[in-house]
Chains A and B, each alone.
Chain A
Amino acid sequence: MSSSQRPLPRNFLLLFGNAASRAFLGRRGLVLILLAALPAVLAWFVVHSGARVGMDVFLGATLMFAFQFIVPFLGLLVGVAVLGDEIEGRTVTYLFTRPQSRPVVFLARYLGFATAFAVLVFVTTFLAAHFWSSGVPITPRQVAGTAGIAALGFVVYAAFFAALRMYVSRALFVGFILGFIFEGAISKLPGTGIARCSVWHHVALLEVRLFDPTATTHELRELLSGIGADETAAGSLMTLGAILVVSLAAGAWRVRTQETRLANAAT
C-alpha cells in the first residue's frame, strides 16, 4: 500500500467525495435541483403577484408545501439513490471488492449525498423564506432557522429512505406510501400521540417553536393542532437525531450482513 494515509479514513473520504461531487449529475440531478427550488420560486411569484401575504400563507407554504411535500420527496429520491444508484448501475461491484467494509461505502455515500443536497435545501429554503419576508414579519434568525429545519428534515428523511432501500427492492414505491400516505395520515391524528412517530411532526414542531414558542397564533393552532403544549424543540431534535442514527445503523447492518445482488446478473 503506497499511500501513507490509513485505509479507512482515506477510503471514507474518497467515497464521500465521489458521492458529493456526483450528486447533481445527470437528469436526476436536474430534477432534484428544480424540485428543491420550487418553494423559492413559489414564494417569489406569490410575493410579486401583489396578493395579500400573511403569516397563514407563509406557514401554509412552508409547512404544508416545503416541509410536508418537497423535503420528504427529496429525501426519498436521494435516500434510495445512496446505494441504489450503485446497485442499479452495477458499479457497486467495484466498491465492494475494495478493502473497506460495505457499511463504510453505505455511510460515506449517504454523507456525501446528504451533505450536497442539505446545502441545496438550505439555500433554496433560505431564499424562499427571504422572499416571504418581504410580506411577512420574519426575522433573519427565523429565515435561517427555517432553512436549517428544512435541511435537518431532509437529512433525516434521506437516512430513513436510504436504509429502507437496503431492505426493500421497490423502495421508491414503498417509500412514497410511507412518506406521504402513512406519514400524512398519522400526522393528522390528534390526541393519540401517534403523530409523534412522524418525521414531519417534529420538523413542524421545530418551526412552530422557532416562530412562536407559546404557539398562540390562530394559524399555528389551525395547522398544527396535533402538537402538544408539553413538546419542546429539544425533544424533537433528539427524536430526529435518534431516527437518523437508527436508520443509518439499520442500513449499515443490512449492507454488512446481506449480499447485494445486481440486476440482470449472470450466474
Chain B
Amino acid sequence: MIPEPRPPAPPPIATFEHAAKWYGQVIGLVDATVQIGPGVTGLLGPNGAGKSTFLKLLTGQLQPSQGTVRLLGADPFATTSVHARLGFLPEQDAFYEDMTGRAFVRFLAGLQGCAERADEALQRVGLTEAAGRKIRTYSKGMRQRVKLAQAIAHDPQVLVLDEPLTGMDPVARRQMIDLMRDFERRGATVVVSSHILHEVEAMTDRVILLYQGRVRAVGTREEIRGLLDKHPHQIRVQTSRARDVARALLDLPGVVGVRVDDGSVHVDTTDPEAVYDRLPRFVLEEGLPVDGLEAADVGLDAIFDYLVK
C-alpha cells in the first residue's frame, strides 16, 4: 500500500531573511532569519533584547536596515494594505485619554472598516460596562484590555501582541490567554512577546528567543528547555553552618559544585528537583540549620547567559 503523501507545510505567514535593524550606533536586531506560521508564537527575551524592534519590523512600523521582512507575502512597511489583516497591541501605554473606551475602539475599528464591531470587541475583552468611561479613568489592566479590543475588532488574520499581560490581574491574564488560543483555533497567527518565561510557557509551545538583538533559539518549549538543561542550575542555601551544609550537599545526586560564601552555600546542580526534594529531609536528619533556600539563576538574564556561552 502506497502511503498517502504528507500534506505540504502551510506557507509561512511572516518571514525574516537576514533582517537587521540599527538606530545609529544602537543595534536593535542583528541578522534575524526566522519563519512564523499559523498558531501562537512566543517572542521571549529580557528587556532590550530586540523584541519590540522585531515586532515593529513585522508590523511595518520600521523598515529593516538590512535584509527583508515579509508579512503575508508583502513588505509590511511599503504595503499598507496588509494592515487590513493585522491587529497590533503596542507595548506603550498610549491613548487618546479624553476619549471613552468605546469611542477609541470605534475610531480605530472604523479605520479597518468595521466600526460596528467595536462593542463586540469590548465585550470579548470584558470591558462592556466601562466602555462609556473616559480612558484616563481606566486602571492599568483596563487600558491593556482596550488596547486588545482595538487589535481584535476586525478579526485579524495576524495578531501581534507586545507584552500584552503587563498590568493584568490573574483573571484577565487567563482571559487574554484563552482569547489567543481562540484565535489559534480559528487558524489565525498570533505573535506575542514577553520577557517573562512562564508567561510565554502559558501561551504557547513555539518560542523565538532573542537576546542582545540576536535570535538565539527557535523551536518548541521542549527544544528550548533542552538547551537550557545542559547547564547546571544554581541554588543558594542560607545557613549559619555553611561548611557543614556544603559538605553534606556534595553527596546529593546531580550536584557538580559547591561554594561557600559569607553565610550561604551556592550549589551548582544538574538536578535541582533532587536538591529541593531531599534538602528538607536531609536537614532534619543531620540537624543542620537552613534559614533560606532559593534559585539563584531563574532570571532570564541568567538563562540567556547560558544560551550565549
Contact = CB atoms under 8 A, between A and B. Distances in A.
B91 interface: yes
Q: Which 6 A-B pairs have the closest CB atoms?
A: A90-B94, A3-B113, A99-B84, A1-B113, A98-B111, A99-B83
A32 B113 CA distance: 33
B253 to A, nearest CB: 42
Given A1-B113, A3-B110, A267-B52, 16 more contacts: A1-B114, A2-B116, A3-B115, A10-B113, A15-B111, A26-B98, A91-B94, A96-B60, A97-B83, A98-B111, A99-B81, A99-B84, A100-B80, A259-B63, A267-B53, A267-B213
A202 interface: no
B132 to A, nearest CB: 18
Nearest to B81: A99
B114 A18 contact: no
Q: How large is the interface on A (under 10, 10 to 19, 20 to 34, 35 or more residues)?
A: 20 to 34
Q: How large is the interface on B (under 10, 10 to 19, 20 to 34, 35 or more residues)?
A: 35 or more
Nearest to A17: B107
A19 to B, nearest CB: 11
B15 interface: no
17 contacts: A1-B112, A2-B113, A2-B116, A3-B115, A14-B110, A18-B107, A91-B96, A94-B94, A94-B150, A96-B60, A97-B59, A259-B62, A259-B77, A266-B47, A266-B48, A266-B51, A267-B50
Interface in A84-101: 89-91, 93-101
Contacts of B90: 90, 93-94
B122 interface: no
A14 B107 CA distance: 7
B96 A100 contact: no
B63 A101 contact: no
B176 interface: no
Contacts of A10: 110, 113
A30 to B, nearest CB: 13
Interface of B: 23, 26, 28, 47-48, 50-53, 56, 59-63, 77, 80-84, 86, 88, 90-92, 94-96, 98, 107-108, 110-117, 150, 213
A25 interface: yes
A236 interface: no
A181 interface: no
A22 B51 CA distance: 33
User: Of residues B26, B53, B63, B90, which shows the largest number of chain A Cβ atoms within 10 Å of its Cβ?
Assistant: B90
A267 B48 contact: yes
Contacts of A98: 80, 83, 108, 111-112
Nearest to A3: B113
Interface of A: 1-3, 5, 7, 10-11, 14-15, 18, 22, 25-26, 89-91, 93-102, 259-262, 265-267
Contact of B111 (A90, A100, A265, A267): A100
Contacts of B56: 265
A90 B113 contact: no
A32 to B, nearest CB: 16
A262 B92 contact: yes
A149 to B, nearest CB: 33
Nearest to B110: A14
Contacts of B62: 259
Contact of B88 (A14, A97, A100, A260): A97
Contact of A267 (B28, B59, B80, B96): B28
Nearest to B85: A99
A23 to B, nearest CB: 12
Given A99-B80, A100-B111, A260 B50 contact: no
B114 A2 contact: yes
A7 B108 contact: no
B88 A99 contact: no
A267 B94 contact: no
A26 B81 CA distance: 33
A105 B107 CA distance: 14
A102 B90 CA distance: 18
Nearest to B77: A259
Contact of B92 (A5, A93, A99, A261): A93
B75 to A, nearest CB: 13
A100 B82 CA distance: 10
Nearest to B26: A267
B76 to A, nearest CB: 9
A164 to B, nearest CB: 22
